[in-house]
Structure 1
């Protein structure tokens, strides 16, 4: 007999248990098992008034943000709608069927106020990292470093040439991103803070966004240029856990400099210092290699940034032999290249502003040399520039010839996979918050979500079964 939908009188009482309607294999169950926010209220207590109306529970907002970043829900307005409709999301956020979902504007008010003042998102990231370490997912033996470019919420059409003076207008009419940019300029150069031009000793950027001035004008190979930030990940190689994250403009020198910041911070806060650090050629600069080897005693599993190889069929620097005791090079013909050819009453270091020492051959020796055309055909003598960190560069070259280096190169793919997951699964290929603080918040929340997902999929029985089925 064909059934019929009962359209009779509504029931007076319902028995409904939300927990029974969330599958045991749901990702949020695994995440909830490892998410501990009990310390949240104590961390935020100094930023709330003891009087007045009760506010929205900050734990509820953090849980909602975690849902949004874990499932690629980029809009906070849509996030509120999804939490309102989805039973699993309500269960994770500790909301009953009749509990109201906060307005989307609540997130903006708290983010620009208490959350940033207390650096709450960094606190949440660190608490999740502590759980990762407690579960044995962080070994601390090897770290990998890399950066990925993320588009800023800034239209290329709203950009002006970097050499053009900009009138940023009155302070009360400026956007939050512009005020943040100008405050950073004032801290970097207080004397020039009142001018309408960016105060910097370096070359001005090619283009500046009027919407988000701190974003950097950049372009991927073969693609159009855009304004962007870089998310910098420092991961532990055992399980691919993100141990630190830093937001920088999309600039290679700032990306490389963030390596020092993250390694120092992890060492200070977690007492973790890796035995080896894995990175691509961008991290093979002489200064960074010197810092790793000489100051931190970290093995650099990094390709050396070397532009000394010549392509004009003349001798490259690698064909000159270094004599440490004599402090000189020997050319293929056996002649010396020195930084001092005569004794000086006041000895000099000969170190240039680029932290290098220039070694020159004797013009007399070069003029009578039979292979001069293969060495310096267009100059009267040959010179070689040697970094003061050349010993660290030699150490990196030595490591590059070992089997351990080949293994490190394979393990470095773990951080690249995290960036692919960040953009394709979490949908963070474009920021929706502006300014360095906005990038800082988004990158921290995304890294927190990735660590939580990793624990849920590695440590829960359901996650282990799924991983075994996938392999």
Structure 2
């Protein structure tokens, strides 16, 4: 018997948002870990609003804001406007953020303004560190064996915006740059002044940033992440900073560690800096017409071979960030905003990896 094509809506319902989310949904464990990290940031959140003048439109609760930003990364939502549109009708999104069925959705411009407050107080960096702290407590980090690498991030700016610094021409006028010698010393992008014209390997020159990560070799979790201007020295300089940051976050600034890396890090200055920081440089030797700076005593060790194999795990984070997290070409401008999105994306990647690890049997530190 064919049923009638009718639509009947109840005036009241006794069901909660929790009832609409399956018990085994992947977001349940991710939300639990994210909330545990956010709970440790209460003092930071309180300080963000202490100096502000009372009155006016209430700001977005920072915990809800960060959960919404996580959804934007996890579900590849391109903009705040699209995110707010989906939150309007998506019960799963409302549940994850912490909005009831009757709560009004934020205006996208207010949402964007509140993100600036998070940048000012380094809230996303603190959230990332708390997520790493959860992984450490669950024995998912070795704390001793790391890998480092960098990746190019295409800026939200085109070639036509890259003009001479003293040129007042509007980029929208579409001026031609063919046959013109351009460099970062004499030119800059009028759309995104922080971006740099850069190429690496066989890639074409584009306006870019450079993202860097330090991954733990145990399970490939990201221990530190940062975005810098794109240049030929950025990878090695960022590696030094991330090593120090990871040690501080793990609570042992003097621990001896190993660091795996590709041939781009095989420079005498970097190898010597690693030794001074009590870091054993398991860097791939570059012997193409030159002598490697990595000592043979290190290159012939058993740990070196393991590090060279494990360092490839770092590419999984870059691949996820670009295919899922939208970091292939960012839709924000400015170094601080790009850095915020990159660090948040790596925090989301860690949460996804940690959810998978949580389904396995408990692991003991090695």
Which range, TM-score by smaller chain?
A: 0.7 to 0.9
1:52 counterpart = 2:33: no
**What is residue 71 of structure 1 aligned with on the other side?**
75
- 1:259-309 deviation line (CA, Å, top 9, x unaligned): 11111122233234452100011111111100111x122211102455654
Cα distance change on mapping 1:417 and 1:2 into 2, 3 Å? same
The alpha carbon displacement at 1:122 in A equals: 0.9
Cα distance change on mapping 1:394 and 1:230 into 2, 3 Å? closer
Q: Tell me if the contact between 2:153 and 2:327 (Cα under 8 Å) persists in the aligned partners.
A: yes
**What is residue 96 of structure 2 aligned with on the other side?**
92
Q: Tell me if the contact between 2:149 and 2:314 (Cα under 8 Å) persists in the aligned partners.
A: yes
Q: Please give the root-mean-square deviation of Cα atoms over the aligned residues, in Å.
A: 2.4
- 1:66-96 deviation line (CA, Å, top 9, x unaligned): 1111121121111111222222111111111
**What is residue 455 of structure 1 aligned with on the other side?**
354
**What is residue 288 of structure 1 aligned with on the other side?**
270
The alpha carbon displacement at 1:108 in A equals: 1.9
- 1:339-363 deviation line (CA, Å, top 9, x unaligned): xxxxxxxxxxxxxxxxxxxxxxxxx
Mapped partners of 1:143, 1:70: distance in 2: 25
Cα distance change on mapping 1:415 and 1:455 into 2, 3 Å? same
Q: Tell me if the contact between 2:198 and 2:208 (Cα under 8 Å) persists in the aligned partners.
A: yes
Comparing 273-282 and 43-52, the one that deviates more: 43-52
Q: Tell me if the contact between 1:143 and 1:274 (Cα under 8 Å) persists in the aligned partners.
A: no
SS in 2 for 1:82: helix
**Structure 2: segments with no counterpart, 5+ residues:** 170-182, 362-366
SS in 2 for 1:248: strand
SS in 2 for 1:239: coil
- 1:26-60 deviation line (CA, Å, top 9, x unaligned): 22111012112123442122332373253221111
1:108 counterpart = 2:7: no
The alpha carbon displacement at 1:103 in A equals: 1.4
- 1:149-201 deviation line (CA, Å, top 9, x unaligned): 010011111112xxx452689xxxxxxxxxxxxxxxxxxxxxxxxxxxxxxxx
**What is residue 17 of structure 1 aligned with on the other side?**
16
- TM-score when normalising by structure 2: 0.86
SS in 2 for 1:252: coil
SS in 2 for 1:102: coil
1:411 counterpart = 2:310: yes
The alpha carbon displacement at 1:454 in A equals: 1.0
Mapped partners of 1:66, 1:400: distance in 2: 40
Cα distance change on mapping 1:129 and 1:6 into 2, 3 Å? same
Mapped partners of 1:56, 1:20: distance in 2: 25
**What is residue 122 of structure 1 aligned with on the other side?**
125
- TM-score when normalising by structure 1: 0.68
Q: Tell me if the contact between 2:266 and 2:294 (Cα under 8 Å) persists in the aligned partners.
A: no
1:42 counterpart = 2:43: yes
Comparing 297-306 and 121-130, the one that deviates more: 297-306
Q: Tell me if the contact between 1:231 and 1:248 (Cα under 8 Å) persists in the aligned partners.
A: yes
1:227 counterpart = 2:227: no
Mapped partners of 2:214, 2:168: distance in 1: 36
- 1:371-418 deviation line (CA, Å, top 9, x unaligned): xxxxxxxxxxxxxxxxxxx9xx353x3222233322211111100111
Equivalent residues in 2 for 1:271-282, closer than 5 Å:
271-272=251-252, 273=255, 275-282=257-264
The alpha carbon displacement at 1:223 in A equals: 4.2
- 1:216-263 deviation line (CA, Å, top 9, x unaligned): 212354443210011100011101111111111221202210111111
Comparing 144-153 and 439-448, the one that deviates more: 439-448
SS in 2 for 1:267: helix
Q: Tell me if the contact between 2:283 and 2:294 (Cα under 8 Å) persists in the aligned partners.
A: no
**What is residue 300 of structure 2 aligned with on the other side?**
401
**What is residue 160 of structure 2 aligned with on the other side?**
157
**Structure 1: segments with no counterpart, 5+ residues:** 170-202, 310-317, 319-389, 466-471
Q: Highest Rg: 1 or 2?
A: 1
Alignment partner of 1:263 out of 235, 243, 252:
243
Cα distance change on mapping 1:267 and 1:51 into 2, 3 Å? same
Mapped partners of 1:51, 1:39: distance in 2: 25
Alignment partner of 2:336 out of 415, 437, 446:
437
Q: Tell me if the contact between 2:129 and 2:249 (Cα under 8 Å) persists in the aligned partners.
A: no
Equivalent residues in 2 for 1:40-439, closer than 5 Å:
40-48=41-49, 49=52, 51-53=54-56, 54-112=58-116, 114-160=117-163, 164-166=164-166, 205=185, 207-272=187-252, 273=255, 275-293=257-275, 295-305=276-286, 309=290, 393=293, 395=295, 397-439=296-338
Comparing 91-100 and 260-269, the one that deviates more: 260-269
Number of residues of Structure 1 aligned to a counterpart in Structure 2: 341
- 1:107-140 deviation line (CA, Å, top 9, x unaligned): 221222x212211111111111111111111111
Mapped partners of 1:124, 1:72: distance in 2: 20
